[in-house]
Structure 1
Amino acid sequence: MFRTDRAPDLKTVLIASGVVLTLAMGVRHGLGFWLQPISQTHGWTRETFSLALALQNLLWGAFGPFAGMACDRIGTARVIVLGAFLYAAGLLWMALVPQPALFVIGSGVLIGAALACTAFGAVSGIVGRSAPPEKRSWAFGISSAAGSFGQFLMMPVEQQLISISGWQHAFFWLAGLVLMLMLPMAWRLKEPPPVANASGQSIGQAIGEAFGHRSFILLLSGYFVCGFQVVFIGAHLPSYLKDKGIMNPNVAVLALALIGLFNIFGSYYAGKLGGMLPKRYLLATIYGLRTVTIGLFLAAPLSAWSVYLFAAAMGLLWLSTVPLTNGIVAGIFGVRYLSMLSGFVFFSHQVGSFLGVWLGGWLFTRQGSYDTVWAITLALGVFAALINLPVREQAIARAPAAAP
């Protein structure tokens, strides 16, 4: 493993992991721009492409715990290198495969596995282990802000690539960019010295402890809602706006970019506030404000400016759940198996993502509108706000391992 004899420079870890997250999350958030051109080229309904994105999100979550175990055991750098190659392969697959079943399965497996190796679950362990406890929530906020910056940066880049070179060649450019930037950043992620495991806890014991803890289950439930909301909106907002008569694609591009821009601030300050206030109350507030924001957007007359205001408000709340959720997990269970446990929590997030993006396409195909999915999104927001209130943030007291 890439260990050092001293604690790694936190600034280096945050910069290197931030570049990886910027690209991983930025490319992923822009895939909705390909929904209509790919569907029109191949003669597919929206359901086919939506299913491909849904499977990517589901497998991202399913592979997450295993990628986290690998990060905890062999080091984050090696896992990110594998993820970079998988990401490039997945983008090329989406560009070249015209058969719908192969397109859905291949892109789902490749990009799902790639995201598990390069996104939040993979880097959370090294960030948590590199940061001192008093700065951990802040460091998670920086990482989340990097993912948000990727959305802000890559939205216009991906749209321009499609406009200039066509949707197929745009995938080629992105595959090259992923390899060119992720690989050198991965090798700068040197692992800190091994975390003391005084209790002698094994991986199996850590999993059993977590799933036997009520607060862990509550966090899983809330994170499911987060995934449903953000991926439904990210994937289907461009098409929703066109259906409602906003034909200028730049409105959707700017809206998604604004979500990324404002979430830079939302994620950073959520992480900072998480070091000062109870994280469970902050999570409940975020989910409650999301519900209000979505409700106001749907009730107000639709215009470009109402879209921009919605995007800015949602941006402040978009990934601000990430540093708080990871901070609670680290606070309760410690950082020894943090990547793995974050992977399990994120799997719940991605089950929600799968249902959000797939259900959006499935119901639109049958009903001709997104009204039912918006209603589900509102109801889930209320549920998530309530389910986070009983979370207990106290660290588990473990008995030390018996001497041999």
Structure 2
Amino acid sequence: MSVLRTSAVAVVISGGIILMLSFGIRSSHGVFLQPISTDLGWSREIFAFTIALQNLFWGIAQPFAGMVADRFGSGRVIVGGAIMFAAGNMIMGYATTPLVAHFSAGLLVGVGVAGCGFSIVLAAIGRSVPAEWRSMALGFASAGGSLGMLVMVPLGQEFIQEYGWSQTLIILAALSFLMVPLAAMLVGKLEVPIDTQPQTIKESLREATGHNGFLFLNAGYFVCGFHVAFIVTHFPAYVVDLGLTPELGAWAIGVVGTVNVVSAIVAGILGDKYSKKYLLSALYLGRTVAIVVFMLTPPSVVSVLAFSTAIGLFWLGVVPVTSALVMQMFGLKHASMLLGIVFFSHQLGSFTGAWIGGYMFELTGSYNVVWWASVGLGLASAFLHWPIDERPIKRPAVA
């Protein structure tokens, strides 16, 4: 058992660092919106659409990346994803036209992060730890992504001021290659004999799509993606629109990342002790309340940092709990693929949130419509998780 525990801890640490790099660098893209748009003479909608495409391609590629990881191991998928992710950031550093931006930061980064992001990493970790502390392990690994927000977003802002946005993207691309050697720890092999029932991909898909709980999780994760992409992409610029500094906008996202560490770990621990569906409802309701209070409060440094703290408490905790619930309900055999499908819904929401934010700003000169839409979606998601049947699927015993 001690050998298993030591191996599992190494997997969690390696996975956390990979998520710190992939999620952190990807989250820093929001601070590039204003300098790139100003320098290249673009409207905000152009860069917002690039990030929207990134989220869309990420979501489309995720189930397929999951299928490959389920069959050949997560390590190979992470290496390929990291290389593509780095290439996308590097090419974006030389972009002068919207087409190049859409191809690099949109397509390449999107497909790349599908290979080295949450779904692949968390599925590999889920296979490597016992069920009784799986949610907690996923929470600690997810906290690595939060640390990435804390480190990479303010660092990206500082680098932009010091070196310019182009050189900063090239530096971030170089950092992305650190994920390659870490991938060796995440082979994605099943260490604990929990899910031994044979099942084909087709059977797994039929089972999941016929389960109301899986459909509700997909709908809820759409809302999660909408919230996350809208805030990460547009909040730094929104802070400037309020008459505050760009540095505050970057640090606000960093604060979200800091508090996210607590959110991911605590939510992961609670997910092992209490009902995951009710925990998810509470997290979405908490987000909704945070947005309402922020919108009704006069803008200031204090209100921005208070909102960042509050939203961070209910942000990344959704990821380990949702991932653990999918594994709890459907097992580990096709976990990467099923998490990829759920994450595709997340990315459809991300595409919508990132793009509609820029579109509504250009149309109305304000983000207010999108903020209040986020409130409605948050309430809907809180209610959708309530009726989920979270019991493990019962399958015929192996003869």
Match of 1:14 in 2: 12
State the match for 1:144 in structure 2: 142
- Report percent identity of matched pairs: 42
Cα deviation code 1:331-383 (max 9, x no counterpart): 11001111111000011011000000100001111111111111110100110
After TM superposition, give the deviation of residue 92 of structure 1 in Å: 1.4
Q: Decide whether the 8 Å contact of 1:8 with 1:130 is kept in 2.
A: no
Residue in 2 that maps onto 1:341: 338
Task: Give the equivalent residue in structure 1 for 2:238.
Answer: 240
2:128 and 2:190 in contact (8 A); partners too: no
Tell me, yes or no, if structure 1 residue 77 matches structure 2 residue 57. no
Aligned counterpart, 1:113 = 111
Q: Of 307, 311, 315, which aligns to 2:312?
A: 315
Deviations 1:141-199 (A, max 9, x none): 112111111101111211111111110000111111111x1111112224434767644
Cα deviation per residue 1:112-134 (whole Å; 9 max; x = unaligned)? 11110011111122111101010
Tell me the residue number matched to 2:183. 186
> Cα deviations across residues 221-275 of structure 1 (Å, max 9, x unaligned)?
01100110111011101111111211x2221121111100001001100010011
**30, 47, 58: which one aligns with 2:45:** 47
1:384 aligns with 381
Matched residues in 1 for 2:324 and 2:187: separation? Answer: 21
Could you tell me whether the CA contact under 8 Å between 2:199 and 2:333 is conserved in 1?
no
Match of 1:44, SS state, is coil
SS in 2 for 1:200: coil
Deviation at 1:6, TM superposition (A): 7.4
Q: Distance in 2 between matches of 1:196 and 1:249?
A: 49
Distance of 1:193 and 1:261 partners within structure 2 = 32
Residue of 238, 243, 265 corresponding to 2:262: 265
Query: Does the 8 A contact of 2:264 with 2:320 survive in 1?
Result: yes
Alpha-carbon separation, structure 2, partners of 1:336 and 1:54: 31
Query: Partner residue of 2:153?
Result: 155
> Paired residue for 1:223?
221
Q: Hey, what's the Cα distance between the residues in 2 that align with 1:210 and 1:255?
A: 38
Q: Secondary structure at the match of 1:302?
A: coil
Assess if the C-alpha contact under 8 Å between 1:141 and 1:267 holds in 2.
Answer: yes
Contact 1:8 1:190 in 2 (8 A): no
- How far has the Cα of 1:37 moved from its partner? 1.1
SS in 1 for 2:185: coil
The CA distance in 2 between the partners of 1:68 and 1:161, in whole Å, is 34
- Residue in 1 aligned with 2:358? 361
| Equivalent in the alignment of 2:298 | 301
- 2:210 & 2:188 partners in 1: Cα distance? 29
Give unpaired runs (5+ residues) of structure 2.
none
Counterpart of 2:367 in structure 1 is 370
Q: CA separation in 1, counterparts of 2:171 and 2:197?
A: 48
In 1, the alpha carbon distance for the partners of 2:352 and 2:151 equals 27
Return the letter of the residue paired with 1:387: L
Question: Please, which moves more after superposition, 5-14 or 133-142?
Answer: 5-14
What amino acid maps onto 2:180 in structure 1?
L
Unaligned 5+ segments in structure 1 are: none
**What code does the residue aligned with 1:50 have?**
A
Q: Kindly provide the amino acid, as one letter, of the partner of residue 142 in structure 1.
A: F
1:102 to 96, 100, 103: 100
Distance 1:390 1:82 in 2: 39
In structure 2, what is the Cα distance between the partners aligned to 1:119 and 1:230?
15
Check the 8 A contact 2:24/2:146 in 1, yes or no: yes
Amino acid in the other structure paired with 1:316: L
Rounded to whole Å, the distance in 1 between the matches of 2:23 and 2:152 is 9
Q: Which amino acid aligns with 2:77?
A: V
**In structure 2, how many angstroms separate the alpha carbons of the residues matched to 1:197 and 1:259?**
36
Distance across 2 between alignment mates of 1:155 and 1:97: 21
What whole-Å deviation, never above 9, does each CA across 1:79-120 have from its counterpart, x for those lacking one? 111011101110012111212123213431100111100111
CA-based RMSD = 1.5
Instruction: Give the CA deviation at 1:38.
Output: 1.0
In the comparison of the two structures, how many residue pairs are matched? 396
Per the normalisation by structure 1, the TM-score is 0.95
Tell me which of 329, 347, 351 is aligned to 1:350.
347
Normalised by the size of structure 2, how large is the TM-score?
A: 0.96
> Residue 119 of structure 1 aligns to which amino acid in structure 2?
G
CA–CA distance in 2 between the matches of 1:151 and 1:6? 30
When structure 1 is superposed on structure 2, of 140-149 and 19-28 the one drifting more is: 140-149
The whole-number CA distance in structure 1 between the counterparts of 2:28 and 2:72 is 31
Aligned to 1:327: 324
CA contact (8 A) 1:145 1:265 kept: yes
Specify whether residues 309 and 191 from structure 1 end up closer, same or farther in structure 2 by C-alpha distance, changes over 3 A only: same
